[in-house]
Chain A
């Protein structure tokens, strides 16, 4: 399981940990009832403050994305089945693209048009 943390990103690190766990669930790398790495393991692996991870896991638990079993660990919960997570991921990708476009002075409509063209030349390579 590989979590990507970016210290230059505008999000607090505990939110990044939450987002990463959700992303890994959404792409199927983590399945329902899989165990998340322990706080200690993840702290060592990513050199994170343990309280950051505790906070991320706690918030994920509150959201119902994971559940904790005392003395055993934290596990991925059953998906809610609404596809809400994929929707949220899509929203994030869109937001990033729009921000980037804005920074380069590209209007949203021009971006959509260019995306359409690029998708066509991709020829359905990525389905």
Chain B
């Protein structure tokens, strides 16, 4: 809409790679997250989402490649990055199991000069955190709430939220997502949300990255992604095959009844429509996909997709 240069990425990686023995967790990942962006990192279980976030904090050392966050090289300045980041880990804190939640938050606040005690108390009340329970005795959802308070109360410029709502009941999910939307409106923090529940956050995010087996198979602003993917409802003879130029755009084929066929394809809608018409088939309708559906289709696709 505007001709302005997009802001420099607040987070970026170059050729990031990490293996655990024979298991490849990350394979040449070039991530770019714009400052103030809310980036959805989607992927199946074991796609490398958590490893990627941990590499950004330098709590995990990559085998190859480089990662930068908030202007720091994370391998050289991991502590600087961690001090400016609110991190909700996929699995709760394993340490301090004997510590009471209130004591844990007090200890945590000491690490962050920007810790806002009033905001922390507000979050504790809102999320109904039981301050006198020991961390080890908390349910998954309760432990999650403690983590969320710890991540948000210092209003960091970067949020890394790994499966934020995992373990929370449906009501608490709603509350936490509303709280996050409000927090982001207040702080404008650059945020990476890793999740496989895309539907839950699709109105909240503005960028999407899809990780598949350690590779980033797609990365784009959400609106561009939605603008470049269409489902084409086509009337074609059963013997019809898509010409190669069209086939190259097709991500999914859904055969219907009789001559009815649905193709999900990437690229310019007018060009695709023309290619369908040229091939002797008739285009009945082209429709937009929801973000959840788009991500699901990209997750199933083998190829890399450039939405530039």
Which residue numbers of A lie inside 8 Å of B, CB to CB? 5, 7-10, 12-13, 39-40, 43-53, 103
Contact = CB atoms under 8 A, between A and B. Distances in A.
A50 B185 contact: yes
A13 B185 CA distance: 16
A41 B176 CA distance: 14
Contacts of A43: 181-182, 184-185
23 contacts: A5-B203, A7-B199, A7-B203, A7-B291, A7-B292, A8-B290, A10-B288, A39-B185, A40-B186, A43-B184, A44-B178, A44-B181, A44-B182, A44-B185, A46-B181, A47-B201, A47-B203, A47-B204, A48-B181, A50-B188, A52-B203, A53-B185, A103-B285
A39 B188 CA distance: 12
Contacts of B105: none
Interface of A is mostly: helix
Contacts of A7: 199, 202-203, 290-292
B204 to A, nearest CB: 5
Given A7-B203, A10-B287, A47 B181 contact: yes
A65 B179 CA distance: 29
Interface of B: 36, 38, 177-182, 184-186, 188, 199, 201-206, 223, 226, 285, 287-288, 290-292
Given A40-B182, A44-B182, 6 more contacts: A7-B290, A10-B287, A44-B185, A48-B181, A49-B184, A52-B203
Closest 3 CB pairs of A and B: A50-B185, A44-B182, A40-B185
A11 to B, nearest CB: 9
Given A7-B290, A8-B290, A49 B204 contact: yes
